[in-house]
Structure 1
Amino acid sequence: MRFNWNYDYVKGSKIAYIFSIILTVAGIVSLLTFGLNYAVDFKSGSNVDITVSKAITTEQIDPIINDMGVKEGDVHITPGADRVNVRFSNVLDENQESKFKQEFSKLDSTASYEVNTVDPEMAKELERNAIYAVLIASIGIMIYVAIRFEWRFAVAAVVSIFHDAFVVISVFSIFRLEVNLTFITAVLTIVGFSINDTIVIFDRIRENLRFAKKTTKADLREVVNHSLAQTMTRSLNTTFTVFIASLCLFIFGGESIRMFSLAMVIGTFFGAYSSIFIAAPLWFTLKSKQSNKPKTAAKASN
């Protein structure tokens, strides 16, 4: 069954712009107010991941934490049926770690432990390197698009991928979801997915420009809308495939990749959305201003 994707996407982008601006403002307010809920990967402390043979509740673990002399606000417990995560804000020394394992073994003698510790300097370095990774990837993409197409395509592409990355970060900040190293991997993956979808659309726009009239703003609008209609089936099929795979990972995957898969679910949706309703219409806006310049100059000379 073939769908008719003919639609004025440029006109519809106005609503998308408003929605994205509202989401961006909400994200900025949340980041300034609450920041991100960093996992132990990005702040100093110890993270104890425990595989258990039976369900362990928070109430059962609380006495162990109290006996260790750790303040209640300095520890975060995530119980589960087969996995328990205990995150300490402070770095555990050998005696504290040994005492915790000894006391926990009374609850489950077959439990196995994985302890990850990050000191303050390492946490700052990881956070700094994560920011550099996203920025360098974005700059590289901008240079590539500018060389392959033109600067207007590059600007539109970078605005689009920054939008996708920031939306995911905003959602994690607003809902206080944990940000770890797998989250950074997800953001970079989303950037790659988004730019791939955007490049396909831009390539079709460039191809259609070769055979289309470019005398008026309406001609450019028709090229953009027609190009989006031609690539819509491909974009939605790719997005749906990645979305379903990410959703299955989120539902059935392990705890260690849960935040990665959730970020991918959110980013995949907004990656397709931004390619269609932000990147292409933004290029149209920039290009139409260039198209109007000769007319303005001609009027001025008369």
Structure 2
Amino acid sequence: MAKKASLRHRLYHGETSFDFMGRKRLWFAISAVIIALGLVSIITQGLNLGIDFKGGVAWTVRAPHTSVNSVRDAVRPLGLGEATIQTSGNGTVKVSFKHLTQAKQNQVTDAIAKAAHTSPGQVSINDVGPSWGKTVTNKARTALIVFFILITVYISFRFEWKMAIAALVAVVHDILVTIGVYSISRFEVTPATVVAFLTILGYSLYDTIVVFDRIEENTRGLSASGRLTYSDTVNLSMNQVLMRSINTSFVAILPVASILAIGVYVLGATALEDFGLALLVGLITGACSSICIASPVLVLLKEREPRYAAIRQRLATKGAPAAPLTPAAAAVMAGGGGGSRVMRASGGDGGGEGGVAEGGPPLVPGRPRTVPAHRPHGRQGGRPRPRKKRRR
């Protein structure tokens, strides 16, 4: 028995047949649980907004050998027992609190400097009014609304309105998951977080557009013949772009993870932390939503159409549903397959072995197709036809 090819080999050679649409209820259930947990956290404890949004005063000092408890004990007598105190990898301590009078700010500065064993001049103060934070929030909201409108118009014009709805559902999913993660983890929301948040929406949409473009191409090709249901077409399309999605997501996540691991926690570039955290959460969520949310929602919308409902009913009456096609088998099927009818993969668990031509051996990419035993060398005589000599 031949050794089963590895997952990496099957991904790169188009031999996968993952049944994404058969598990759409599972994807929806997982997303619903994550979003529900996030919403509960938002209702009960809200978001950890930075002073740029709610206004206040922030004191920052470099104190590598000072703990959070010692700083809190130093500012507690001044009424800052509930202040937000954070430390970073490079030994910087940040104390945030609501607005205080100038005299009170000076007292807090002296107390922090004493706890950090440094002079008051080494403590920086950042006093931000709440009006600036409201301006940032309003601009972010306006940018999000314009983003939704433009994306809806573009996808409806480029593809169709049902694809636009599916893409918007995936984007809203990414927004809710990211906000929920920030609420549960108590990450601080800063203007850098908002910038990263808008950035990841574009990336999520890009991945969705790649999948939808392949679905539309297959819909005009194999699906137009009536041999595949719309779910089968979407499964095939996602298996075709799966390796590309994995590669692009990995290439995008790798530098962001490097920013967090090396830039923030090794080099102490704390200004990149808020931006990097939002990007990391959003990139992972966006990569998953394009496959597990956008495509299943599109299938639910499209299979209500009479044409695809009739195809599903006609194929269902012919027998048990077959496993999804592999990309390799679909390529042979689209090209004619040498005159033979191409069958589906033997299983839908990702171990697809390519299409199988009726009356012949399996069609596996990278392997030459052997000649059937009853047709040796392509003719009945069993011997190769001699070449004719050219006359000079």
TM range (shorter): 0.7 to 0.9
Gaps of at least 5 residues in structure 1 are 296-302
Aligned-pair identity (%): 30
Matched residue, 1:70: 79
Superposed displacement of residue 241, structure 1: 1.3
Matched residue, 2:375: none
**8 A Cα contact 1:216 1:291, kept in partner:** no
How high is the TM-score relative to the length of structure 1? 0.87
Matched residue, 1:192: 202
Matched residue, 2:217: 207
Q: Deviations over 1:110-169 (max 9, x none)?
A: 974443322233333333332332232222222211111110110000100110111010
**8 A Cα contact 1:217 1:288, kept in partner:** no
Superposed displacement of residue 221, structure 1: 1.6
Matched residue, 2:278: 263
**8 A Cα contact 1:10 1:225, kept in partner:** yes
What is the CA–CA distance in structure 2 between the aligned matches of 1:210 and 1:293, rounded to whole Å?
A: 13
Matched residue, 2:59: 48
SS in 2 for 1:289: coil
Instruction: Determine which structure has more spread, i.e. the larger CA radius of gyration.
Output: 2
SS in 2 for 1:115: strand
What is the CA–CA distance in structure 2 between the aligned matches of 1:124 and 1:216, rounded to whole Å?
A: 55
Q: Deviations over 1:35-73 (max 9, x none)?
A: 111111110211223234x32222432354245x33412
**Structure 2 residue 105 is the aligned partner of structure 1 residue 97:** yes
How high is the TM-score relative to the length of structure 2? 0.68
SS in 1 for 2:95: strand
What is the CA–CA distance in structure 1 between the aligned matches of 2:285 and 2:147, rounded to whole Å?
A: 18
**8 A Cα contact 1:37 1:173, kept in partner:** yes
Instruction: Indicate how the Cα distance of structure 1 residues 280 and 119 shifts in structure 2: closer, same or farther if over 3 A, else same.
Output: same
Matched residue, 1:39: 50
**Structure 2 residue 99 is the aligned partner of structure 1 residue 84:** no
Q: Deviations over 1:238-265 (max 9, x none)?
A: 1111112111112222222213212222
**Structure 2 residue 71 is the aligned partner of structure 1 residue 61:** yes
**Structure 2 residue 138 is the aligned partner of structure 1 residue 128:** yes
Superposed displacement of residue 294, structure 1: 8.3
**8 A Cα contact 2:113 2:122, kept in partner:** no
Q: For this pair of structures, how many residues does the alignment match?
A: 292
Root-mean-square deviation over aligned CA pairs: 2.4
Gaps of at least 5 residues in structure 2 are 1-7, 311-392
* 1:1-302 matches, cutoff 5 A: 2=9, 3=11, 4-52=15-63, 54-66=64-76, 69-73=78-82, 75-80=83-88, 81-88=90-97, 90-106=98-114, 107-109=117-119, 112-214=122-224, 218-252=228-262, 253=264, 254-292=269-307
**8 A Cα contact 1:214 1:220, kept in partner:** no
Higher helix proportion (structure 1 or 2): 1
**8 A Cα contact 1:49 1:86, kept in partner:** yes
